[in-house]
Chain A
Amino acid sequence: MTNQDYLKDLSDIKTLMNKSTRFISLSGLSGIMAGIYSLIGASYAYWLVTTSAKDYLILDEKTFNIVLIDLFLIAFFTIITAIFLTTRKAKMNGEKLLDKTALRAISSFLIPLVTGGIYILVILNQQKYGQTGALMLLFYGLALVNASKYTLGKIKYLGYIEIILGLICAIIPGYGFWLWVIGFGVMHIIYGIIMHFKYDRKQYQ
């Protein structure tokens, strides 16, 4: 054995220790679906607001509630789809869905996300609407970055992008809707497609 061999041994050990403690079953398809749901939901909200005879996003209570329900439905369908597709993928790979790596990934994802969700509801109740889009992007981005420690698949970079979009959105809240569409719609689809071809396809073969 030469020094090179020892070095290679050590780097193999490091890679395996890293890889084996991360959750790998998250399906790329669920990212694509999340993006599509977001776009559908956003289109509906856009249609609703533009036909409600006002140009900008100060809504009467009824429209506002419908938009909230719209958001809730997007989140609901996204979660259901993610659970379904990830379960399917885990089964195909002969892995258990809720192993330790999955639980760690989920809890580190949910803590920033739920905190953000509750915070947004609190300030909405205080009639502070301006930063909603920015806050959603920011907390979601932070949740992704936090979970990335326990997942494979470069979810970290999606998180960074969401955080940057969130900060831009905070500066120009007037474009909040469009930044939200980019962050939750377009970015999910792009990310999902990359992941699907990079990881999923390889494993199915």
Chain B
Amino acid sequence: MSKNIIQHINKIFDHRIRLGIMSILMVNEYAEFNTLKELLGATDGNLASHIKALEKAEFIIIEKQFIGKKPNTRYSTSKLGKLEFKKHLNALEKLIKQ
């Protein structure tokens, strides 16, 4: 039983910033870089590297566009990301109840 739960603890979410990015994107349609930065209190480089890791796992979707002349990047969760994050949450909750 216990092994089963540990399997669902996702290594990719095993970091405060990544967990944070996913938490924000789960309840918002999308978020921008600066919003994430402010909410998480992370530096540009740090945040960017964690975003990259989540993107590589295909848990988040990055959407680049221009508003006027300013580049604007939006982040949102993919279906896979949502599913994996839910599994991760359930596993966390079960582990605590043990």
Chain A residues proximal to chain B, CB less than 8 Å: 1, 3, 6-7, 9-10, 12-13, 16-17, 19-21, 93-95, 100
Query: Which A residues touch B19, using CB under 8 A?
Result: 9, 12-13
A10 touches B93 (CB 8 A): yes
Chain B interface main SS type: helix
Q: Which of these, B23, B34, B89, B96, contacts A16 with CB under 8 Å?
A: B23
For residue A138, give the distance in angstroms from its CB to the closest CB of chain B: 32
In Å, the complex CA distance between A10 and B39 comes to 16
Q: A9, B92: Cβ atoms under 8 Å?
A: yes
**Looking at B9, B23, B27, B89, which has the most chain A CB atoms within 10 Å of its CB?**
B23
Name the B residues within 8 Å of A94 (CB-CB).
34, 38
Flag whether B35 is at the interface (Cβ < 8 A).
yes
Question: Quick check: B20 and A100 within 8 Å, CB to CB?
Answer: no
Interface residues in B28-54 (C-beta closer than 8 Å to A): 28-29, 31, 34-35, 38-40
Q: Is there an interface contact between A21 and B92, defined as CB atoms closer than 8 Å?
A: no
| B16 on interface, CB distance cutoff 8 Å | yes
Q: Is B26 part of the contact surface with A, judged by Cβ < 8 Å? A: yes
A13 neighbours in B (Cβ, 8 Å): 19-20, 23, 89
| Across-interface contacts of A12 in B (CB, < 8 A) | 16, 19-20, 23
Given A12-B23, A13-B23, A100-B29, A20 and B95 touching (CB < 8 A)? Answer: no
Top 10 A-B pairs ranked by shortest CB distance?
A: A16-B23, A20-B24, A13-B23, A94-B34, A17-B27, A6-B92, A6-B95, A17-B23, A6-B96, A16-B20
